[in-house]
Amino acid sequence: MRVVVLFDLPTGTKAERRAATQFRKSLLDDGFDMLQYSVYSRLCPNRDGAEKHMLRVKRSAPDSGSVRVLYLTEHQFTNMHIIVGEKTTQEELLPTKQLAFF
């Protein structure tokens, strides 16, 4: 399962830029990978793990702007079409069958 965080944060003032930077840093510190500048994703073993990381995102989100969290199955994520650009280095390194439970 993937947790995808999409956000649009204000950056008009120095305090807003600082808050946006701290939020992005908190996502990276929590194991999220940047897909695009304001789109980050993280692989989780199950729904409980995904919800744990969603709560961390909620705690670190700034007071203003827009932050959204989306849960995707690995199948849905790997069926994403890239129209312009290419897969990130992290997407290339991570095999789609990495999480196998028996």
pLDDT in single tens digits along all 102 residues of the chain: 999 999 999 999 999 999 999 999 999 999 999 999 999 999 999 999 999 999 999 999 999 999 999 999 988 988 888 888 787 766 666 555 555 554
Q: What is the pLDDT of residue 98?
A: 52
Q: What is the pLDDT of residue 94?
A: 59
Reading phi first (left if > 0) and then psi (alpha if -120 to 50, else beta), residue 100 is in: beta
Structure tokens at 10: 């204000």
**Measured between alpha carbons, how far is 102 from 87 in angstroms, rounded to an integer?**
29
Q: Smallest Cα–Cα separation from 98: which of 28, 31, 32, 44?
A: 44
**CB-based burial of residue 19 (10 Å sphere; 0-12 exposed, 13-18 middle, 19+ buried)?**
buried
